[in-house]
Structure 1
Amino acid sequence: MHRRFSDAIVALLSAMMFSRVATAQELHQAFGPGEQSLYRVQYLGVTAGTAQITVGAPMKQWGQQVWPIISLAKSDPVIGAWPIKDKFVTYWHAGGQRSLGSDFFVDENNKRRRQRIQLQDDGLTAHVIKQQEGAEPVEATHEVPAGAMDLASAMFALRNRELVEGQEYTYPVFTGLKSFLLRAKVDGRQRMKTALGEREVFRVKFQTEFSGKLQAQRDIVAYITTDPSHVPVRIEADFVLGSIVAELSEYKQGRLVAMNDETGG
Protein backbone atom coordinates (compact mmCIF):
# COMPACT_ATOMS: atom_id res chain seq x y z
CA MET A 1 0.00 0.00 0.00
CA HIS A 2 2.71 2.48 1.00
CA ARG A 3 4.93 1.81 -2.01
CA ARG A 4 1.87 2.19 -4.24
CA PHE A 5 1.02 5.52 -2.61
CA SER A 6 4.61 6.66 -3.16
CA ASP A 7 4.20 5.96 -6.89
CA ALA A 8 0.80 7.67 -6.82
CA ILE A 9 2.27 10.86 -5.31
CA VAL A 10 4.85 11.01 -8.11
CA ALA A 11 2.08 10.43 -10.64
CA LEU A 12 0.01 13.19 -9.01
CA LEU A 13 2.82 15.70 -9.36
CA SER A 14 3.20 14.65 -12.97
CA ALA A 15 -0.51 15.08 -13.60
CA MET A 16 -0.50 18.50 -11.98
CA MET A 17 2.53 19.52 -13.92
CA PHE A 18 1.01 18.35 -17.17
CA SER A 19 -2.09 20.44 -16.64
CA ARG A 20 -0.83 23.48 -18.53
CA VAL A 21 1.36 24.00 -21.63
CA ALA A 22 1.87 26.79 -24.17
CA THR A 23 3.66 28.44 -27.05
CA ALA A 24 4.64 32.09 -27.09
CA GLN A 25 1.33 33.17 -28.67
CA GLU A 26 -1.89 34.59 -27.20
CA LEU A 27 -0.36 35.06 -23.77
CA HIS A 28 -1.77 36.78 -20.72
CA GLN A 29 -0.40 37.09 -17.19
CA ALA A 30 -1.85 34.43 -14.88
CA PHE A 31 0.71 34.08 -12.08
CA GLY A 32 3.79 35.60 -10.50
CA PRO A 33 6.24 35.31 -7.59
CA GLY A 34 4.55 34.64 -4.26
CA GLU A 35 1.70 32.52 -5.63
CA GLN A 36 1.00 29.45 -3.49
CA SER A 37 -1.50 26.63 -3.98
CA LEU A 38 -2.13 23.82 -1.49
CA TYR A 39 -3.94 20.63 -2.55
CA ARG A 40 -5.46 17.82 -0.51
CA VAL A 41 -4.61 14.49 -2.14
CA GLN A 42 -6.84 11.43 -2.07
CA TYR A 43 -5.56 8.01 -3.14
CA LEU A 44 -8.13 5.24 -3.63
CA GLY A 45 -10.71 7.46 -1.91
CA VAL A 46 -8.62 8.03 1.25
CA THR A 47 -6.93 11.33 2.16
CA ALA A 48 -3.27 10.39 1.87
CA GLY A 49 -1.24 13.59 1.75
CA THR A 50 -0.80 17.11 0.40
CA ALA A 51 0.81 18.79 -2.58
CA GLN A 52 1.96 22.41 -2.42
CA ILE A 53 3.08 24.51 -5.38
CA THR A 54 4.86 27.84 -4.82
CA VAL A 55 6.24 30.43 -7.26
CA GLY A 56 9.41 31.65 -5.56
CA ALA A 57 11.23 34.98 -5.64
CA PRO A 58 13.42 35.80 -8.65
CA MET A 59 16.91 34.30 -8.53
CA LYS A 60 19.88 33.52 -10.79
CA GLN A 61 20.29 30.04 -12.26
CA TRP A 62 22.86 29.10 -14.91
CA GLY A 63 23.59 32.79 -15.37
CA GLN A 64 19.99 33.84 -16.07
CA GLN A 65 17.17 35.37 -14.05
CA VAL A 66 14.44 32.84 -13.22
CA TRP A 67 11.52 32.18 -10.89
CA PRO A 68 11.92 28.88 -9.03
CA ILE A 69 8.59 27.04 -9.07
CA ILE A 70 8.61 24.57 -6.19
CA SER A 71 6.29 21.55 -5.92
CA LEU A 72 6.25 19.64 -2.61
CA ALA A 73 4.45 16.33 -2.06
CA LYS A 74 4.07 14.98 1.48
CA SER A 75 2.34 11.85 2.74
CA ASP A 76 -0.01 12.04 5.72
CA PRO A 77 1.64 10.45 8.81
CA VAL A 78 -1.56 8.55 9.61
CA ILE A 79 -1.33 6.37 6.47
CA GLY A 80 1.58 4.33 7.82
CA ALA A 81 5.31 3.94 8.07
CA TRP A 82 6.33 4.88 4.50
CA PRO A 83 7.05 8.64 4.78
CA ILE A 84 7.20 10.64 1.56
CA LYS A 85 8.59 14.13 1.07
CA ASP A 86 9.35 14.80 -2.59
CA LYS A 87 10.41 18.17 -4.01
CA PHE A 88 10.47 19.28 -7.64
CA VAL A 89 11.89 22.67 -8.67
CA THR A 90 11.69 24.06 -12.17
CA TYR A 91 13.57 27.22 -13.09
CA TRP A 92 11.02 29.29 -15.02
CA HIS A 93 12.28 31.94 -17.46
CA ALA A 94 9.29 34.30 -17.63
CA GLY A 95 10.54 36.31 -20.61
CA GLY A 96 11.04 33.18 -22.71
CA GLN A 97 7.96 31.32 -21.37
CA ARG A 98 10.08 28.24 -20.77
CA SER A 99 12.17 26.44 -18.17
CA LEU A 100 15.95 26.36 -18.15
CA GLY A 101 15.88 23.03 -16.28
CA SER A 102 14.83 21.38 -13.05
CA ASP A 103 15.86 19.62 -9.84
CA PHE A 104 13.92 16.65 -8.45
CA PHE A 105 14.64 15.59 -4.85
CA VAL A 106 13.04 12.27 -3.89
CA ASP A 107 12.79 11.32 -0.20
CA GLU A 108 10.71 8.16 0.26
CA ASN A 109 10.90 5.73 3.18
CA ASN A 110 14.09 7.52 4.29
CA LYS A 111 15.82 6.72 0.99
CA ARG A 112 16.95 9.67 -1.10
CA ARG A 113 17.89 10.35 -4.69
CA ARG A 114 17.99 13.37 -6.97
CA GLN A 115 17.78 14.26 -10.63
CA ARG A 116 18.91 17.46 -12.33
CA ILE A 117 17.96 18.39 -15.89
CA GLN A 118 19.58 21.33 -17.67
CA LEU A 119 18.08 22.16 -21.04
CA GLN A 120 20.87 23.33 -23.34
CA ASP A 121 20.89 26.60 -25.30
CA ASP A 122 20.56 24.78 -28.62
CA GLY A 123 17.06 23.66 -27.59
CA LEU A 124 17.73 20.13 -28.84
CA THR A 125 19.70 18.53 -26.00
CA ALA A 126 19.39 18.12 -22.23
CA HIS A 127 22.11 17.31 -19.71
CA VAL A 128 20.81 14.94 -17.00
CA ILE A 129 22.48 14.07 -13.69
CA LYS A 130 21.04 11.28 -11.50
CA GLN A 131 22.35 10.30 -8.08
CA GLN A 132 21.29 7.81 -5.43
CA GLU A 133 22.17 8.73 -1.85
CA GLY A 134 25.67 7.46 -1.09
CA ALA A 135 26.47 6.71 -4.75
CA GLU A 136 28.38 8.55 -7.43
CA PRO A 137 26.34 10.71 -9.83
CA VAL A 138 25.54 9.35 -13.29
CA GLU A 139 25.52 11.88 -16.14
CA ALA A 140 24.04 11.64 -19.62
CA THR A 141 23.11 13.87 -22.54
CA HIS A 142 19.80 13.28 -24.32
CA GLU A 143 18.44 14.56 -27.59
CA VAL A 144 15.06 16.25 -27.08
CA PRO A 145 12.44 17.58 -29.50
CA ALA A 146 12.57 21.28 -30.32
CA GLY A 147 10.54 23.19 -27.75
CA ALA A 148 10.60 20.38 -25.18
CA MET A 149 9.51 21.36 -21.66
CA ASP A 150 9.91 19.77 -18.28
CA LEU A 151 6.76 18.89 -16.38
CA ALA A 152 6.43 21.98 -14.22
CA SER A 153 7.15 24.48 -16.99
CA ALA A 154 4.49 22.77 -19.08
CA MET A 155 2.14 23.15 -16.14
CA PHE A 156 2.58 26.90 -15.84
CA ALA A 157 2.83 27.80 -19.51
CA LEU A 158 -0.77 26.88 -20.33
CA ARG A 159 -2.00 29.12 -17.54
CA ASN A 160 -0.67 32.03 -19.59
CA ARG A 161 -2.71 31.02 -22.65
CA GLU A 162 -6.08 32.34 -23.71
CA LEU A 163 -7.82 28.98 -23.43
CA VAL A 164 -10.43 28.24 -26.09
CA GLU A 165 -13.24 25.69 -25.75
CA GLY A 166 -12.84 22.79 -28.14
CA GLN A 167 -9.20 23.59 -28.93
CA GLU A 168 -6.50 20.92 -28.60
CA TYR A 169 -2.89 21.69 -27.71
CA THR A 170 0.02 19.31 -28.36
CA TYR A 171 3.52 19.80 -26.95
CA PRO A 172 6.73 17.76 -26.56
CA VAL A 173 7.64 16.88 -22.95
CA PHE A 174 10.96 15.51 -21.64
CA THR A 175 10.89 13.65 -18.31
CA GLY A 176 14.62 13.08 -17.86
CA LEU A 177 14.46 9.66 -19.49
CA LYS A 178 12.02 9.85 -22.40
CA SER A 179 10.25 12.34 -24.61
CA PHE A 180 6.61 12.15 -25.64
CA LEU A 181 3.85 14.31 -27.03
CA LEU A 182 1.34 15.68 -24.55
CA ARG A 183 -2.18 16.30 -25.82
CA ALA A 184 -4.56 18.63 -23.99
CA LYS A 185 -8.10 19.56 -25.02
CA VAL A 186 -10.39 22.18 -23.48
CA ASP A 187 -13.52 20.07 -23.19
CA GLY A 188 -15.97 22.71 -21.96
CA ARG A 189 -17.06 24.91 -19.05
CA GLN A 190 -19.08 24.30 -15.90
CA ARG A 191 -19.79 25.73 -12.45
CA MET A 192 -18.04 24.16 -9.47
CA LYS A 193 -17.84 24.71 -5.71
CA THR A 194 -14.20 25.26 -4.77
CA ALA A 195 -12.04 26.54 -1.92
CA LEU A 196 -12.28 29.91 -3.68
CA GLY A 197 -16.08 29.79 -3.61
CA GLU A 198 -18.29 28.84 -6.55
CA ARG A 199 -16.39 29.37 -9.78
CA GLU A 200 -16.76 28.81 -13.49
CA VAL A 201 -14.06 26.38 -14.63
CA PHE A 202 -12.66 24.91 -17.81
CA ARG A 203 -12.74 21.12 -17.98
CA VAL A 204 -9.48 20.08 -19.65
CA LYS A 205 -8.59 16.53 -20.70
CA PHE A 206 -4.99 15.37 -21.00
CA GLN A 207 -3.48 12.39 -22.75
CA THR A 208 -0.02 11.24 -21.65
CA GLU A 209 2.24 8.37 -22.66
CA PHE A 210 3.25 6.93 -19.29
CA SER A 211 3.67 3.17 -19.13
CA GLY A 212 3.59 0.53 -16.40
CA LYS A 213 1.97 1.51 -13.08
CA LEU A 214 1.65 5.15 -14.21
CA GLN A 215 -0.24 4.31 -17.40
CA ALA A 216 -3.50 6.25 -17.43
CA GLN A 217 -6.70 4.19 -17.53
CA ARG A 218 -8.54 7.22 -18.93
CA ASP A 219 -7.77 10.86 -19.74
CA ILE A 220 -6.46 12.94 -16.85
CA VAL A 221 -9.01 15.70 -16.15
CA ALA A 222 -8.19 19.11 -14.67
CA TYR A 223 -10.67 21.83 -13.69
CA ILE A 224 -9.10 25.27 -14.17
CA THR A 225 -10.80 28.58 -13.32
CA THR A 226 -11.84 30.68 -16.30
CA ASP A 227 -10.72 33.91 -14.60
CA PRO A 228 -7.34 35.42 -15.60
CA SER A 229 -5.45 33.45 -12.91
CA HIS A 230 -6.41 30.07 -14.44
CA VAL A 231 -6.08 28.30 -11.09
CA PRO A 232 -6.37 24.47 -11.18
CA VAL A 233 -8.91 23.65 -8.47
CA ARG A 234 -9.28 19.89 -8.99
CA ILE A 235 -7.39 17.15 -10.83
CA GLU A 236 -8.60 13.58 -11.37
CA ALA A 237 -6.46 10.71 -12.62
CA ASP A 238 -6.92 6.94 -12.88
CA PHE A 239 -3.63 5.07 -13.20
CA VAL A 240 -2.98 1.35 -13.22
CA LEU A 241 -1.80 1.74 -9.61
CA GLY A 242 -5.07 3.41 -8.55
CA SER A 243 -7.17 6.57 -8.67
CA ILE A 244 -5.92 9.95 -7.45
CA VAL A 245 -7.82 13.19 -6.80
CA ALA A 246 -6.13 16.47 -5.87
CA GLU A 247 -8.43 19.27 -4.69
CA LEU A 248 -7.42 22.84 -3.94
CA SER A 249 -7.72 23.68 -0.23
CA GLU A 250 -5.83 27.01 -0.01
CA TYR A 251 -4.70 29.61 -2.53
CA LYS A 252 -2.64 32.81 -2.33
CA GLN A 253 -2.25 35.00 -5.40
CA GLY A 254 1.25 36.11 -6.36
CA ARG A 255 2.65 39.40 -7.61
CA LEU A 256 1.87 39.93 -11.26
CA VAL A 257 4.66 41.47 -13.33
CA ALA A 258 5.03 42.25 -17.03
CA MET A 259 6.43 39.34 -19.02
CA ASN A 260 9.26 41.55 -20.31
CA ASP A 261 10.08 42.64 -16.74
CA GLU A 262 13.74 42.22 -15.72
CA THR A 263 12.66 39.30 -13.52
CA GLY A 264 12.08 37.35 -16.71
CA GLY A 265 15.63 37.80 -17.84
Structure 2
Amino acid sequence: MHAQSKWRFAAVLAGLVWSATAMAQAPSANAAFGPGEQTQYRVKYLGVTAGTAQVTVGAPMKQWGQDVWPIVALARSQDTLGVWPIKSKFVSYWQTDGQRVMGSDLHSDENGKRRRQRIKLQPDGKSVLVVKQKENEAPRESTRELPEGTLDVTGATFALRNRDLAVGGEYSYPVFTGSKQFMMNAKVEARELMNTELGPKEVYKLRVKAEFGGSLASKRDMFVYLTTDPNHVLVRVEAEFAMGTIVAEITDYKPGRIMELARADSGG
Protein backbone atom coordinates (compact mmCIF):
# COMPACT_ATOMS: atom_id res chain seq x y z
CA MET A 1 0.00 0.00 0.00
CA HIS A 2 1.63 3.26 -1.08
CA ALA A 3 2.01 6.31 1.17
CA GLN A 4 -1.03 8.23 -0.05
CA SER A 5 -3.30 5.21 0.36
CA LYS A 6 -1.92 4.59 3.85
CA TRP A 7 -2.67 8.18 4.83
CA ARG A 8 -6.21 7.94 3.48
CA PHE A 9 -6.83 4.63 5.23
CA ALA A 10 -5.55 6.14 8.49
CA ALA A 11 -8.04 8.98 8.19
CA VAL A 12 -10.90 6.57 7.49
CA LEU A 13 -10.16 4.24 10.41
CA ALA A 14 -9.53 7.07 12.87
CA GLY A 15 -12.80 8.71 11.91
CA LEU A 16 -15.03 5.66 11.57
CA VAL A 17 -16.38 5.34 15.09
CA TRP A 18 -17.28 9.00 15.53
CA SER A 19 -18.03 9.86 11.91
CA ALA A 20 -19.93 6.96 10.35
CA THR A 21 -23.17 6.71 12.23
CA ALA A 22 -26.57 8.36 12.60
CA MET A 23 -28.48 11.51 13.55
CA ALA A 24 -31.15 12.73 15.98
CA GLN A 25 -33.59 15.48 16.83
CA ALA A 26 -35.68 16.57 19.87
CA PRO A 27 -34.61 13.61 22.06
CA SER A 28 -37.08 12.03 24.45
CA ALA A 29 -36.49 11.38 28.13
CA ASN A 30 -35.61 7.71 27.53
CA ALA A 31 -32.37 6.40 29.04
CA ALA A 32 -30.98 3.92 26.51
CA PHE A 33 -27.47 4.08 27.95
CA GLY A 34 -25.58 5.05 31.09
CA PRO A 35 -22.13 5.21 32.68
CA GLY A 36 -20.26 1.93 32.43
CA GLU A 37 -21.68 0.91 29.07
CA GLN A 38 -19.00 -0.53 26.80
CA THR A 39 -19.25 -1.79 23.23
CA GLN A 40 -16.54 -3.47 21.16
CA TYR A 41 -16.39 -3.58 17.35
CA ARG A 42 -14.40 -5.30 14.64
CA VAL A 43 -13.58 -2.98 11.74
CA LYS A 44 -13.27 -4.47 8.26
CA TYR A 45 -11.82 -2.72 5.22
CA LEU A 46 -12.55 -4.27 1.82
CA GLY A 47 -13.66 -7.44 3.63
CA VAL A 48 -10.45 -7.85 5.69
CA THR A 49 -10.21 -7.19 9.43
CA ALA A 50 -8.26 -3.94 9.68
CA GLY A 51 -8.76 -2.78 13.25
CA THR A 52 -10.86 -2.62 16.37
CA ALA A 53 -12.96 0.04 18.05
CA GLN A 54 -14.29 0.45 21.56
CA VAL A 55 -16.94 2.91 22.76
CA THR A 56 -17.34 3.50 26.51
CA VAL A 57 -19.66 5.75 28.51
CA GLY A 58 -17.48 6.98 31.37
CA ALA A 59 -18.32 7.95 34.93
CA PRO A 60 -19.99 11.34 35.56
CA MET A 61 -17.46 14.17 35.71
CA LYS A 62 -17.09 17.94 35.52
CA GLN A 63 -15.92 19.52 32.26
CA TRP A 64 -15.76 23.30 31.88
CA GLY A 65 -17.89 23.59 35.02
CA GLN A 66 -20.67 21.36 33.63
CA ASP A 67 -21.84 17.90 34.71
CA VAL A 68 -21.18 15.52 31.81
CA TRP A 69 -20.74 11.89 30.86
CA PRO A 70 -17.59 11.38 28.76
CA ILE A 71 -18.28 9.11 25.77
CA VAL A 72 -14.90 7.68 24.79
CA ALA A 73 -14.26 6.11 21.36
CA LEU A 74 -10.95 4.30 20.83
CA ALA A 75 -9.83 3.04 17.41
CA ARG A 76 -6.72 1.01 16.66
CA SER A 77 -5.43 -0.54 13.43
CA GLN A 78 -4.08 -4.05 13.03
CA ASP A 79 -1.02 -5.12 11.05
CA THR A 80 -2.93 -7.36 8.64
CA LEU A 81 -2.96 -4.82 5.80
CA GLY A 82 0.53 -3.44 6.34
CA VAL A 83 -0.84 0.05 6.98
CA TRP A 84 0.72 2.60 9.26
CA PRO A 85 -0.02 2.04 12.97
CA ILE A 86 -3.04 4.08 13.94
CA LYS A 87 -4.37 4.93 17.40
CA SER A 88 -7.20 7.39 17.87
CA LYS A 89 -9.10 8.56 20.97
CA PHE A 90 -12.18 10.74 20.68
CA VAL A 91 -14.01 11.98 23.78
CA SER A 92 -17.43 13.61 23.47
CA TYR A 93 -18.74 15.38 26.61
CA TRP A 94 -22.44 14.50 26.84
CA GLN A 95 -24.71 16.62 29.04
CA THR A 96 -27.67 14.49 30.10
CA ASP A 97 -29.90 17.32 31.33
CA GLY A 98 -29.82 19.22 28.06
CA GLN A 99 -29.30 16.16 25.82
CA ARG A 100 -26.46 18.03 24.15
CA VAL A 101 -22.69 17.92 23.68
CA MET A 102 -20.55 20.48 25.52
CA GLY A 103 -17.50 19.78 23.36
CA SER A 104 -14.95 17.12 22.48
CA ASP A 105 -11.28 16.16 22.49
CA LEU A 106 -9.52 14.20 19.74
CA HIS A 107 -6.07 12.65 20.20
CA SER A 108 -4.72 10.89 17.12
CA ASP A 109 -1.43 9.07 16.47
CA GLU A 110 -0.89 8.03 12.85
CA ASN A 111 2.50 6.48 12.13
CA GLY A 112 3.97 8.33 15.12
CA LYS A 113 2.60 11.70 14.01
CA ARG A 114 0.39 13.11 16.74
CA ARG A 115 -2.33 15.71 16.48
CA ARG A 116 -4.99 17.09 18.77
CA GLN A 117 -8.31 18.82 18.30
CA ARG A 118 -10.53 20.39 20.96
CA ILE A 119 -14.03 21.76 20.37
CA LYS A 120 -15.62 23.75 23.19
CA LEU A 121 -19.17 25.07 23.20
CA GLN A 122 -19.24 28.76 24.10
CA PRO A 123 -21.60 30.22 26.74
CA ASP A 124 -23.96 31.62 24.08
CA GLY A 125 -24.69 28.05 22.95
CA LYS A 126 -24.44 29.17 19.32
CA SER A 127 -20.69 29.12 18.70
CA VAL A 128 -17.71 26.88 19.40
CA LEU A 129 -14.00 27.42 19.93
CA VAL A 130 -11.91 25.03 17.82
CA VAL A 131 -8.27 24.39 18.75
CA LYS A 132 -6.15 22.24 16.42
CA GLN A 133 -2.52 21.30 17.01
CA LYS A 134 -0.02 19.08 15.25
CA GLU A 135 2.99 17.74 17.14
CA ASN A 136 5.81 20.30 17.45
CA GLU A 137 3.60 23.05 16.05
CA ALA A 138 1.78 25.91 17.75
CA PRO A 139 -1.99 25.44 18.27
CA ARG A 140 -4.35 27.11 15.82
CA GLU A 141 -7.58 28.59 17.19
CA SER A 142 -10.77 29.58 15.42
CA THR A 143 -14.39 30.30 16.31
CA ARG A 144 -17.38 28.98 14.38
CA GLU A 145 -20.97 30.17 14.53
CA LEU A 146 -23.29 27.16 14.49
CA PRO A 147 -27.04 26.52 14.65
CA GLU A 148 -28.14 26.16 18.25
CA GLY A 149 -28.25 22.50 19.29
CA THR A 150 -25.54 21.35 16.89
CA LEU A 151 -23.94 18.04 17.94
CA ASP A 152 -20.85 16.08 17.04
CA VAL A 153 -21.60 12.71 15.45
CA THR A 154 -20.99 10.70 18.63
CA GLY A 155 -23.48 12.88 20.50
CA ALA A 156 -25.96 12.67 17.63
CA THR A 157 -25.74 8.87 17.61
CA PHE A 158 -26.34 8.61 21.34
CA ALA A 159 -29.22 11.09 21.13
CA LEU A 160 -30.75 8.92 18.42
CA ARG A 161 -30.58 5.94 20.76
CA ASN A 162 -32.83 7.88 23.15
CA ARG A 163 -35.52 8.35 20.49
CA ASP A 164 -38.70 6.29 20.19
CA LEU A 165 -37.74 4.70 16.88
CA ALA A 166 -40.28 3.31 14.43
CA VAL A 167 -40.22 2.12 10.83
CA GLY A 168 -40.76 5.12 8.59
CA GLY A 169 -39.45 7.57 11.20
CA GLU A 170 -37.10 10.29 9.94
CA TYR A 171 -34.58 12.20 12.08
CA SER A 172 -32.25 15.06 11.24
CA TYR A 173 -29.98 17.55 12.98
CA PRO A 174 -27.02 19.83 12.29
CA VAL A 175 -23.61 18.28 12.96
CA PHE A 176 -20.16 19.81 13.25
CA THR A 177 -16.97 17.72 12.88
CA GLY A 178 -14.44 20.44 13.68
CA SER A 179 -13.96 21.27 10.01
CA LYS A 180 -17.34 20.85 8.36
CA GLN A 181 -20.90 21.66 9.36
CA PHE A 182 -23.79 19.93 7.62
CA MET A 183 -27.21 18.37 8.12
CA MET A 184 -27.37 14.63 8.61
CA ASN A 185 -30.57 12.72 7.94
CA ALA A 186 -31.57 9.21 8.99
CA LYS A 187 -34.65 7.18 8.09
CA VAL A 188 -35.74 3.91 9.68
CA GLU A 189 -36.31 1.68 6.66
CA ALA A 190 -37.07 -1.70 8.18
CA ARG A 191 -37.24 -3.91 11.24
CA GLU A 192 -35.42 -7.20 10.70
CA LEU A 193 -33.50 -10.05 12.31
CA MET A 194 -29.71 -9.89 12.10
CA ASN A 195 -27.17 -12.57 13.02
CA THR A 196 -24.36 -11.08 15.10
CA GLU A 197 -21.43 -12.42 17.08
CA LEU A 198 -23.63 -11.96 20.17
CA GLY A 199 -26.41 -14.05 18.63
CA PRO A 200 -29.54 -13.13 16.65
CA LYS A 201 -30.70 -9.55 17.25
CA GLU A 202 -33.85 -7.80 16.10
CA VAL A 203 -32.71 -4.47 14.66
CA TYR A 204 -33.87 -1.29 13.02
CA LYS A 205 -32.18 -0.66 9.67
CA LEU A 206 -31.50 3.04 9.12
CA ARG A 207 -30.40 4.73 5.92
CA VAL A 208 -28.13 7.67 6.75
CA LYS A 209 -27.29 10.59 4.48
CA ALA A 210 -24.20 12.62 5.36
CA GLU A 211 -21.78 15.02 3.69
CA PHE A 212 -18.35 13.97 4.93
CA GLY A 213 -15.52 15.15 2.73
CA GLY A 214 -12.11 13.85 1.65
CA SER A 215 -11.46 10.16 2.31
CA LEU A 216 -14.73 9.98 4.25
CA ALA A 217 -16.82 11.20 1.32
CA SER A 218 -19.60 8.66 0.87
CA LYS A 219 -20.15 7.02 -2.50
CA ARG A 220 -23.63 5.96 -1.35
CA ASP A 221 -25.83 6.28 1.71
CA MET A 222 -24.62 4.56 4.86
CA PHE A 223 -26.61 1.89 6.69
CA VAL A 224 -26.76 1.74 10.48
CA TYR A 225 -28.36 -1.03 12.55
CA LEU A 226 -29.69 -0.42 16.09
CA THR A 227 -31.33 -3.06 18.29
CA THR A 228 -35.09 -2.69 18.79
CA ASP A 229 -34.84 -3.19 22.58
CA PRO A 230 -34.76 -0.13 24.89
CA ASN A 231 -30.93 -0.02 24.71
CA HIS A 232 -30.95 0.67 20.94
CA VAL A 233 -27.39 -0.66 20.72
CA LEU A 234 -25.43 0.06 17.54
CA VAL A 235 -24.55 -3.41 16.19
CA ARG A 236 -23.37 -2.68 12.65
CA VAL A 237 -22.34 0.16 10.34
CA GLU A 238 -21.87 -0.20 6.56
CA ALA A 239 -20.21 2.65 4.70
CA GLU A 240 -18.78 2.96 1.19
CA PHE A 241 -16.26 5.80 1.30
CA ALA A 242 -14.06 7.19 -1.45
CA MET A 243 -11.28 5.06 0.06
CA GLY A 244 -13.36 1.86 -0.09
CA THR A 245 -15.98 -0.13 1.81
CA ILE A 246 -15.74 -0.26 5.59
CA VAL A 247 -17.91 -2.30 7.96
CA ALA A 248 -17.94 -2.13 11.76
CA GLU A 249 -19.66 -5.05 13.51
CA ILE A 250 -20.26 -5.60 17.22
CA THR A 251 -18.20 -8.23 19.09
CA ASP A 252 -19.06 -7.48 22.74
CA TYR A 253 -21.50 -5.39 24.77
CA LYS A 254 -21.85 -4.52 28.46
CA PRO A 255 -24.83 -2.37 29.54
CA GLY A 256 -24.35 0.73 31.63
CA ARG A 257 -25.43 1.40 35.19
CA ILE A 258 -28.84 2.89 34.36
CA MET A 259 -29.88 -0.12 32.30
CA GLU A 260 -28.64 -2.57 34.96
CA LEU A 261 -30.69 -0.75 37.64
CA ALA A 262 -33.77 -0.78 35.40
CA ARG A 263 -33.45 -4.54 34.96
CA ALA A 264 -33.07 -5.07 38.72
CA ASP A 265 -36.14 -2.97 39.47
CA SER A 266 -38.20 -4.96 36.96
CA GLY A 267 -36.95 -8.27 38.28
CA GLY A 268 -35.24 -9.06 34.94
Normalising by structure 1, report the TM-score: 0.92
CA–CA distance in 1 between the matches of 2:212 and 2:25? 20
Q: Which residue of 1 aligns with 2:104?
A: 102
Asked if structure 2 preserves the Cα contact closer than 8 Å seen for 1:37 and 1:251, the reply is yes
- The one-character-per-residue Cα deviations of 1:147-174 (angstroms, maximum 9, x if unpaired) are 1111211111100110121111110001
Specify whether residues 7 and 142 from structure 1 end up closer, same or farther in structure 2 by C-alpha distance, changes over 3 A only: same
> 161, 164, 169: which is aligned to 1:162?
164
Find out whether 1:6 has 2:14 as its counterpart.
Answer: no
Q: Distance in 2 between matches of 1:212 and 1:81?
A: 19
What is the CA-CA distance between 1:78 and the residue it aligns to?
A: 3.3
Instruction: Give the Cα–Cα distance (whole angstroms) in 2 for the partners of residues 87 and 77 of structure 1.
Output: 19
Unaligned runs of 5+ in 2: 262-268
Structure 1 residue 22: Cα displacement: 3.2
Aligned to 1:208: 210
| Residue equivalent to 2:26 | 23
Q: Which amino acid aligns with 2:25?
A: A
Q: Provide the residue aligned with 2:76 in structure 1.
A: 74
Instruction: Indicate how the Cα distance of structure 1 residues 77 and 209 shifts in structure 2: closer, same or farther if over 3 A, else same.
Output: same
Letter in 1 for 2:126: L
CA offsets, 1:188-241, max 9 Å, x none?
A: 110011233211100001100122322111111011100000001111000111
AA of the residue aligned to 2:16: L
Q: Which secondary structure does the structure 1 equivalent of 2:257 belong to?
A: coil
Question: Secondary structure in 1 aligned to 2:117?
Answer: strand
> What is the total number of aligned residue pairs between the two structures?
256
Structure 1 residue 27: deviation in Å?
3.2
CA contact 1:8–1:43 (8 Å) conserved in 2:
no
CA distance in 2, matches of 1:3, 1:99: 29
Counterpart pick for 2:88 among 77, 86, 89: 86
Contact 1:50-1:75 at 8 Å conserved across structures: yes
Q: Deviations over 1:47-95 (max 9, x none)?
A: 0000100000111100011111000010013332510000100111111
Over the matched positions of the two proteins, sequence identity in percent amounts to 54
**Structure 1 position 124, deviation (Å):** 1.1
Counterpart of 1:32? 34
Partner of residue 147, structure 1: 149
Give the structure-2-normalised TM-score. 0.91
Instruction: Note the C-alpha offset of 1:248.
Output: 0.1
- Give the match's secondary structure for 2:120: strand
User: Where does the alignment leave 5 or more consecutive residues of structure 1 unmatched?
Assistant: 259-265
Q: State the partner residue of 1:114.
A: 116
